[in-house]
Amino acid sequence: MMFSKDRILTTHVGSLPRNAKLSELLVQREAGEPFDRAEMDREMDVSVRHVIEKQKEAGIDIGNDGEQQRVGFQTYVPQRMSGFAGVSNRRRGIEFENFPELVQLLMKRFPATSKQQNAPEAQDAIRYLDTGPIKSELARAKRINGETGAFKEMFMSAASPGIISSTMLNAYYDSHDAYLDALAAEMRKEYEAIHEAGFLLQIDAPDLAMDRTMMFRDMSDDEFVKQCERNIAAINKGIENIPADRVRLHVCYGNWEGPHVYDIALAKILPALYQCKANYLSIEFANPRHAHEYAAFKEVPLPDHMVLIPGVIETTTNFVEHPQVVARRIEDAVAAVGDRERVIASTDCGFGTFTNREWVIEPAVWLKLKSLREGADIASSKLWGKTAA
């Protein structure tokens, strides 16, 4: 596992802003429209290099390619699998129905985005066709990281079976459980490719919190926890050949600027999250609706083998957190865990969850990451009683 004996390490959740040209090409590819593959490769090289260099400048310890090579954090999956077709009638979150003004605001702010509510559905048996695309992503990230000398450790994200199942709905399998099992078996190929390339695997699983207000909003909290346990069992099936100390689990409540008044309490789902065979747990805490929930670890303590990756930078506003605020949040996380070496400071979520749907302007992203590093240094000086290394 990654431990630091003298300072708080920094990372982020994954996606970073994409430039306009790359965004256009990614949307064209997703829509099945003709695009210039050579131009795509050039733009990906430029974009990946740009975000890796910017992360290095900001002082990020554990970085990635910014998901520049994907149209969305989970909607890229149908491009790599057979069996998907048509359009899913994905259920909107309850707050989007109860606050129609929020939908109107989003439509004005993001008039042309990639597929999110209208992704394809599973209409046949799904099969992961080719690990070529993920291996290409990994090779580009590794090559450019080597050329820039940015990171000693890199991570690569991949969608959980649960979030795939609630985005690309099931129209083929006899049951939701059967669909989850099929997804776990097929996504295992991607998970293992990431591990075999020497990257930390991050499983993006907003389904474990966000879907309480979306796909499973008609359930009680207790019923939703049971569904979380089932989704985590699917994750565990997919990662069963990967050591737990090479896996990060990211959980969030949905990366949008909204009321979030229907979100489930963290203490309710923590016992289920602990069942995941991943040693790193990434959860948002800078979100104003959840900033108080470090208290949940007093009720349900973090297991000794796990490292907490708290979000101490918010990802849907252009406010740049002051380093002293970041430091205070990190200190709160350390107090909750009870061990300074088992906390890695991070962001709440990604800054480019979907192509053409960035809440935060790019200059503010880099300032936020810089503040993350500066805040971690301040916290480190207090926690270790000396100037941070």
| Model confidence pLDDT, tens digit, residues 104-140 | 887 777 665 555 557 899 999 999 999 999 999 999 9
| Predicted confidence (pLDDT) at residue 327 exceeds the cutoff of 70 | yes
pLDDT per residue as tens digits for the range 11-64: 999 999 999 898 888 888 878 888 888 998 999 999 999 999 999 999 999 999
Nearest alpha-carbon partner for 10 in 275, 328, 347, 272: 347
* Cβ within 8 Å of residue 265, ≥6 positions away: 221, 293, 296
Task: Give residues with Cβ within 8 angstroms of 380, minimum separation 6.
Answer: 6, 7, 8, 388, 389
Predicted local distance difference test score (pLDDT) of residue 186: 98
Q: Do 325 and 314 meet the contact criterion of CB atoms below 8 Å apart? A: no
Distance CA 118, CA 214 (A): 15
What's the rounded Cα separation, in Å, for the pair 342 and 348? 17
Residue with tokens 């300074």: 340
Residue 187 has pLDDT above 50, yes or no: yes
Per-residue model confidence as pLDDT tens digits over 270-306: 999 999 999 999 999 999 999 999 999 999 999 999 9
pLDDT above 70 for 94: yes
* DSSP three-state, residue 226: helix
Q: How many angstroms separate the CA atoms of 188 and 116, rounded?
A: 23
Q: Are 167 and 78 in contact (CB under 8 A)?
A: no
Pair type for strands 153-159 and 121-128: unpaired
389 falls in which pLDDT band (50, 70, 90)?
Answer: very low
Q: Please give the mean pLDDT across all residues of the chain.
A: 93
Do the beta carbons of residue 24 and residue 361 sit within 8 Å?
Answer: no
Residue 198 near residue 244 (C-beta atoms within 8 A): no
Report the share of the chain in percent with pLDDT over 70.
Answer: 96
Q: Are 253 and 260 in contact (CB under 8 A)?
A: yes
With 80 as the cut, is the pLDDT of residue 2 above it?
Answer: no
Return the pLDDT at 104: 82
Q: What is the mean pLDDT of the segment spanning 210-224?
A: 95
Higher pLDDT, 389 or 150: 150
| Mean pLDDT for the stretch of residues 217-222 | 95
Give 72's contacts (C-beta < 8 A, 6+ positions apart). Answer: 114, 115, 116, 353, 354, 355
pLDDT of residue 300: 97
Helices (H), 59-131: 94-98, 100-109
CB count within 10 Å of CB 13 equals: 29
* CATH number listed for the domain at residues 9-384: 3.20.20.210
Q: What is the largest CA-CA distance in the chain?
A: 60
Confidence of residue 388 (pLDDT cuts 50, 70, 90): very low
This prediction's pTM = 0.93
What integer is the mean pLDDT of 162-172?
Answer: 95
Rounded-to-integer distance, Cα 335 and Cα 333, Å: 5
Residue-wise pLDDT tens digits, 140-165: 999 999 999 999 999 999 999 999 99
